[in-house]
Amino acid sequence: MTQVTRPAPLHAGRGTLLIVFASLSFGASGPLAKPAMDAGLSPEEMVSARIGLAALVLLAVVALWRPALLRVRRSDWRLLVGYGLVGVAGVQLFYFGAVARIPIGVAMLLEFTSPVLVALWVRFVRRVVLPARMWVGTVLAVVGLAMVAQVWDGLRLDAIGLLLGAGAALCSAAYFIVGERGARRLDPLGMVTWGMVVGAVAISVLAPPWSLPFELFGVGADFGGRQVPVWLLLVACAVVSTALAYLLSISSLRDLPANVVSVLGLLEPVVAMTLAWLMLGQSLTAVQLVGAGVLLCGATVVQQAARAPVVADLLPDGEPVHPLR
């Protein structure tokens, strides 16, 4: 073992801002999607519409603005397909499958254990010994998430539901790991565009676009005491909470390592909880507020620990393993 000083990322501040804004965008998906589902859309239909619309918007923007990004080298297709299948479609399908069988809080906690999986990947696959504060911050963030999600409320054991939740966690971890690799090889906009297209195709197998209840799109949904058309909620969810959120998240991986981004991404449920309180009038408990504080403290510790020296194992030839390899 040898001590290797890793310099702070050149744009750590920018990466932090990007993932924070990505969490804000992702967190808005719940308050936008819930009224649409209350109006009659099933979770599968909501996901299909959300991902499909996001793919169409991204394709149109890229085709008009930077059409060169639509040209993909053959060597990059495997990465893009894996990112779309696992990071886009897999996370969504496993999570909603888990929600159908176990409480939402438990499903959310299972999915958002992904930072622990990413940290284990970095430690044992990349052979990078992370600072102790990184582990402490990660555990604090997960504990805070458990308090925000109130996992003990209505807890019941369902083996299939738990397995689906674990699948969501694995897919979420893979999203950060594959995304980090892709963000350093590809333009984030092109990567997210094709990833969204692949994800939309995969999800359409379960919820084909032509089977969506289009008659509901013009129906008014109760959004914070106002009647808002379902189609407007879908467009907002697709543009803000999907296309923009994924783009900001992947872009942050150019400036911060995957284990840091995955923990900072835990801000998403705090944002969702706060927006649901502000927009939909949902109440917050004292435990949830304390949990949000614990989660934020953990995320801050991880962000600060990202600047600390790391200890890297040696390769057989004596060369230290690079943390981002």
d(Cα 258, Cα 323) in Å, to the nearest integer?
10
Residue 320: what pLDDT? Answer: 38
User: Could you tell me if 23 and 267 are in contact, meaning their C-beta atoms sit under 8 angstroms apart?
Assistant: yes
Q: What angle do CA 166, 167, 169 make, to 5 degrees?
A: 65
Residue with the larger pLDDT of the pair 313 and 306: 306
Residue with the larger pLDDT of the pair 160 and 235: 235
Q: List phi, psi (to 5°) of 228.
A: -120, 135
**Residue 221: which H helix or E strand, with range?**
strand 220-223
Asked if residue 314 has pLDDT above 80, the reply is: no
Residue 187: what pLDDT? Answer: 95
d(Cα 10, Cα 37) in Å, to the nearest integer?
42
The model's pTM? 0.84
| Dihedral-angle region of residue 72 (phi above 0 means left; psi in -120 to 50 means alpha; beta otherwise) | beta
Q: Which stretch, 17-26, 106-115, 284-293, has highest mean pLDDT? A: 17-26
Least confident of 179-188, 237-246, 316-325: 316-325
What mean pLDDT do residues 3-25 have? 73
Asked if residue 321 has pLDDT above 50, the reply is: no
User: Could you tell me if 88 and 195 are in contact, meaning their C-beta atoms sit under 8 angstroms apart?
Assistant: yes
Tens of pLDDT along 206-245? 888 888 999 999 999 988 788 999 999 999 999 999 999 9
Residue 291: what pLDDT? Answer: 86
Residue with the larger pLDDT of the pair 313 and 225: 225
Tens of pLDDT along 294-306? 888 888 888 777 6
Residue with the larger pLDDT of the pair 110 and 54: 54
Tens of pLDDT along 254-270? 999 998 998 888 888 88
Residue 2: what pLDDT? Answer: 33
